[in-house]
Structure 1
Amino acid sequence: MLTKIPKQFYFFLAAIFILNLVQSSFTQLIFDEAYYWYYSQNMAWGYFDHPPMVALLVKISSFFFNGELGVRFMSCVLSAINIILLWMMIDNPKKNDYIKHFFVLVFSMTLLNAYGFFTLPDTPLLFFTSCFLLTYKYFIKKPTAGLAIVIGIFMAALMYSKYHAVLVIFFVLLSNLKLTTNKFAWLAVAIALFCYAPHFYWLYENDFVSIKYHLYERPNGAYSFEKYTLGFIVNLVAIFGLTFPFIYKALFKTKGNDLFNKALIYLTYGVLIFFFVSSFNRRVQTQWIIIVCIPLVIIAFNYMLQNKQALNWIFRLGLINTILIIYLRMGLAYQPLLFNFYYETHGNKEWAKAIEKEVGDIPVVFENSYRNAPMYSFYTDATPTFSLNNFMYRKNQYSINDSEEQVRGKDVAYVSKYLNNPTFTYTREDDGLYKGKYIANFQSFRKLDCIVADIPVALNSEEDVDLKIYNPYQEDIDLKKLKFAITYMDHYKSPVETLQMTPESTQTGNTLLKEQDTTHFIFQLPKTKKENIGYFRVVISENDLLYGLNGKAIPIK
């Protein structure tokens, strides 16, 4: 229990907590953090890319502090509590003699260290994984209704953190299939589903946009062993740094002699195998496998307490990791330490202020950048901002909220990389030249939905294809303001060619898309000489903007 934890433990914990607070205060946001800060400005039960837990953390942090710490404070708190939870899951009576070894092990894990202050969906995922495992440890000793309710709440909290959390729940269940006959386990499931019901309803109300994106619409490419599978293997090393041989050796040597250790082993191997298989289909991002850090802290430290050689080597190599990590963390806040290497935490406030100085207080529309729009808003207090997405990008939170409505009809500064005759420019050392111009009475209709039956269409055929266009806006839209085109894509849904076409209305003389109504058209696919075409998408340009993302990808025969 907490009362039995030695004072030395709390001294180390306090040092890490203070370090994370200082780091949070003096390090500019990374782009994903700015995006999640944008989430928190309009709290909801779900968002385009993720469930809402990360937004809740930012919102709570903002009650205590302003600026960067107002985004990251709760991450610092959760990471500190997480260390306590990890300690509580270790039963070895010798552990109190090796407190410094435990902290070196935890602090030397690169991503576990980073999520001690960054606010990302993986931050609550790690925390609630520990909460879930600790409660499960008590549950398998003596199942009770009270523990079942707590486990159910933690399962829901896991799923509110990140959809990958389903792996945690699934592999722990797989390690103990007798749970399927345990009435208290079913009570936990019922509680979890009840707590998660608001998010299910949000998904239903938003046409399951998050699920569709993660399953079908995430960017992908042709398989490359170097980028995909080898990249996954490199990630297995990167999350632990120099200690990785001994940590994986601890995993190989650990036996599932009891249900809790069995759960830790199943969870670790399950996640690693799942993403290894996934690496043959897509690039596995490093943070996707970070869940394994939680069981591997427990497995590795227990192994260290039983193996003197592992204890000494992990401690020594962990100290080297720690020194390197501290140096890199200093470089996150003060760029010159990284020898002119620019990371996401460098220069954001500066470029945002430079644009604000140029455009004043008028709204800024960023083309194809859900990253730049919230970062600009965070560092300038400018509202509204909007990310207008074209056919070369992807949808995001700006595609489903009301940000477009907030800039429609206003004079805006339009910032893009695609402009030919810009009024102003600025250069970011990490991302090249950006161009800007002023647009009076800005009009965009990116929520126009082009609906084509999900049936393969023959390329270069002359068959008519039915098209329905739903206008969700509370105004009629003149068809003369719109241009239509077909974007041909390869088999990985990357744009290959965009050709203009003119759909014919099935209603003679129709010149409008009626408000909140569906208009019917027919069209023929424009001829193309391009090869390796796998899909097409109906796209719309309004007021000479680049074509948007108005229809879903339809397969080509």
Structure 2
Amino acid sequence: MKQKFPGLFLYFLLAIFILNLLQANFTQLLFDEAYYWYYAKDLAWGYFDHPPMVAWLIALGSVFFEGELGIRFLSCVLSIGTMSIIWVLVDHPKKRDYVSHFFVLILSMTLVHAYGFLMLPDTPLLFFTALFFLAYSYFLKNPGFLAALFLGIVMAALMYSKYHAFLVIFFVLLSNLRLLSNPYAWMAVAVSLLCYGPHFYWLYEHDFVSVNYHLFERPNRPYEFFDFTLGYIINLIAIFGLTFYWIYQALFKNNDDGLFPRALRFVAYGVLIFFLVSSFQRRVQTQWIIVICIPAAVLVYNYMLNHGQTRKWIFRMGLLNILILFFLRVGLVYEPLFPVVFETHGNKTWTKEITSQVGDIPVVFENSYRMSPMFSFYSGNISFSLNNVWYRENQYSIDKTEETVRGKRVLYVSKYLPDRDISFTMPDSTLFYGVYKDPFISYRKLRTEIINISSMDTEIPVIFDLYNPYPFAVPNDELEFGLALLDSYKQLIEVIPIKAEPSEDYSPLIASEAHRKFQFLMPELPIEEVAYVKIVISENGLRWGLNGIKTEID
């Protein structure tokens, strides 16, 4: 062990691991962590927003510990694994002389630091990106059956972590096109596809819902330089904090020879360029570029070992970064230290405020896949996110949670209720209202698709198909229909109620797994910016749902 890892390295690693365990235990959940905990309650080969790795890790960690520590335990383990792999990937005779510089470099990277104790999809993404580079370096040195098997399994694990992982694999291939003629490389691809097969099948069974959402259904807005492109540049600075100048300088000046350093550079540069281009179309989130931290850590540390001035400045500014990050880490637990109200603050308080008024009855949150799992985690109550046309689909749209609240007395929570039975305030001072519904009945999985809309003629009936996926019949008289108008960025403009009549023999019930045709006359569209329309449904007076497949209009 000490041949690869000097004693000082292991002491640092142990201290970081213990610190992360303590942080994981005493910090309340992020909303996204609660959402992935909700994933883990029903293990599957896929979920609406992401592949399943984050859910699997949460489920496994919860075997060993309860509460927040159970959710985050394996993030702490993967974090020290990531650091250890990066250390191994650095091939430099002087690296043992600068162990403290190595840890300052790694821990000064903002999100790498944070994902040392937070359990999000990017946590396994970082680990398996590092492991992928380790597998690739081994493959370059010893191409053969075992190397291909190892590389294929790691590629699958990488893709099970997050879809963005494809960029890592693609740019490594681009750095070494000779792999296309290497039979062992093709074997690695075959192994990867075989391991990833269950997720492909899950996507097929769920109508490729994740792919459709991320590529086609996600709303956007007009290009804004300051928020999109300038925001992306600010993210590039934020990801490295005060060390950003020296890290990028070292990253771009590193000219180490060989296929492996070339692969590291291709991934780092490729991801940066890919998301720069993307920033001209949509807002790029900081965590989307986090994979560059792995190749950057290897390339920059190698450069630091050869250049004293760079080593000195990254060490100095990195220590300042770490001091700031540790101050913020304390603030995640002790609220007065944090400069703003953050999402790890007060979740137990607002949850308790609700349960003290409603007891253990289920709670339905309007348009909040964030609040619903957080409430369920800290209260133990059943909860559900009822998504409508002003929001977006999520895991609650495709799983069976709706069945746990249908027909029951529930508290319906929204910011927009005209009347209320209870109210409560979130830590950021947002006021929410709750009203009892008894019984609560929703049919959010009903699906509609316009069949003929070749003309906007208001005299020609428009026909749409209504599909009932439920194992029971749905009453016609509980449904109202609306025409949702969307702009070219798929943003909702408004919903126009329509009078839809069955275009075939009338039946008061829509049978289980049956299709029913309806027709209506297209109203005059009041806004020129309308680019898409879709049919939405209000059942039992609930706000319009997310039922329809959008149809482009001329």
**C-alpha distance after superposition, 1:139-190 (max 9, x if no partner):** 1112011010000000000000000000010000100000111111011000
Cα distance, 1:512 vs structure 2: 2.2
Equivalent runs, 1:339-358 vs 2, <5 Å: 339=339, 341-358=340-357
Alpha-carbon distance change, 543 to 323 in structure 1, aligned in 2, over 3 angstroms: same
Tell whether the 8 Å contact from 1:256 to 1:265 is kept in structure 2 after alignment: no
In the other structure, the counterpart of 2:78 is 78
User: Take 2:550 and 2:196, find their aligned partners in 1: how far apart are those partners?
Assistant: 30
Report how many aligned residue pairs link the two structures. Answer: 554
Give the AA of the match of 1:147.
Answer: A
Give the AA of the match of 1:363.
Answer: P
User: Take 2:492 and 2:138, find their aligned partners in 1: how far apart are those partners?
Assistant: 53
In the other structure, the counterpart of 1:550 is 547
Tell whether the 8 Å contact from 1:457 to 1:555 is kept in structure 2 after alignment: no
Q: Secondary structure at the match of 2:482?
A: strand
1:380 aligns with 2:379: yes
Equivalent runs, 1:256-405 vs 2, <5 Å: 257-339=257-339, 341-382=340-381, 384-405=382-403
Cα distance, 1:525 vs structure 2: 2.3
Query: For structure 1, which segment, 2-11 or 122-131, has the greater mean C-alpha deviation from structure 2 after superposition?
Result: 2-11
Give the AA of the match of 1:396.
Answer: N
Cα distance, 1:509 vs structure 2: 3.0
In the other structure, the counterpart of 1:63 is 63
Q: Runs (4+) of structure 1 moved beyond 3 Å?
A: 455-462
Identity of aligned residues (%): 55
User: Take 2:455 and 2:103, find their aligned partners in 1: how far apart are those partners?
Assistant: 61
Q: Structure 2: 5+ residue runs without aligned partners?
A: none
Tell whether the 8 Å contact from 2:239 to 2:290 is kept in structure 1 after alignment: yes
Give the AA of the match of 2:239.
Answer: I
Query: For structure 1, which segment, 6-15 or 489-498, has the greater mean C-alpha deviation from structure 2 after superposition?
Result: 489-498
In the other structure, the counterpart of 2:131 is 131
User: Take 1:480 and 1:259, find their aligned partners in 2: how far apart are those partners?
Assistant: 67
- Which of 435, 438, 442 is matched with 2:436 structurally? 438
Give the AA of the match of 2:329.
Answer: R
User: Take 1:430 and 1:3, find their aligned partners in 2: how far apart are those partners?
Assistant: 51
Cα distance, 1:215 vs structure 2: 0.3
Tell whether the 8 Å contact from 1:500 to 1:526 is kept in structure 2 after alignment: no
Tell whether the 8 Å contact from 1:538 to 1:552 is kept in structure 2 after alignment: yes
User: Take 2:440 and 2:377, find their aligned partners in 1: how far apart are those partners?
Assistant: 23
- Which of 435, 443, 452 is matched with 2:450 structurally? 452
User: Take 1:152 and 1:524, find their aligned partners in 2: how far apart are those partners?
Assistant: 55
In the other structure, the counterpart of 1:194 is 194
User: Take 1:226 and 1:489, find their aligned partners in 2: how far apart are those partners?
Assistant: 25
Cα distance, 1:537 vs structure 2: 1.5
In the other structure, the counterpart of 1:107 is 107
1:534 aligns with 2:516: no
Query: For structure 1, which segment, 472-481 or 128-137, has the greater mean C-alpha deviation from structure 2 after superposition?
Result: 472-481
Give the AA of the match of 1:365.
Answer: V
Give the AA of the match of 2:322.
Answer: T
Tell whether the 8 Å contact from 2:58 to 2:71 is kept in structure 1 after alignment: yes
Q: RMSD over aligned Cα, in angstroms?
A: 1.2
In the other structure, the counterpart of 1:30 is 30
Give the AA of the match of 2:510.
Answer: L
Give the AA of the match of 2:413.
Answer: V
- Which of 455, 466, 471 is matched with 2:468 structurally? 471
1:511 aligns with 2:505: no
User: Take 1:252 and 1:122, find their aligned partners in 2: how far apart are those partners?
Assistant: 24
- Which of 407, 419, 422 is matched with 1:421 structurally? 419
User: Take 2:256 and 2:8, find their aligned partners in 1: how far apart are those partners?
Assistant: 31
**C-alpha distance after superposition, 1:67-124 (max 9, x if no partner):** 1101000000000111000000001010000000000000000001011111010100
Q: Secondary structure at the match of 1:411?
A: strand
Q: Structure 1: 5+ residue runs without aligned partners?
A: none
Tell whether the 8 Å contact from 1:148 to 1:187 is kept in structure 2 after alignment: yes
Give the AA of the match of 1:488.
Answer: L
Equivalent runs, 1:14-29 vs 2, <5 Å: 14-29=14-29
User: Take 1:12 and 1:331, find their aligned partners in 2: how far apart are those partners?
Assistant: 23
Q: Secondary structure at the match of 1:305?
A: helix
User: Take 2:461 and 2:251, find their aligned partners in 1: how far apart are those partners?
Assistant: 60
Tell whether the 8 Å contact from 2:449 to 2:534 is kept in structure 1 after alignment: no
**C-alpha distance after superposition, 1:23-82 (max 9, x if no partner):** 111110000000000000000000000000000110011011111101000000000111
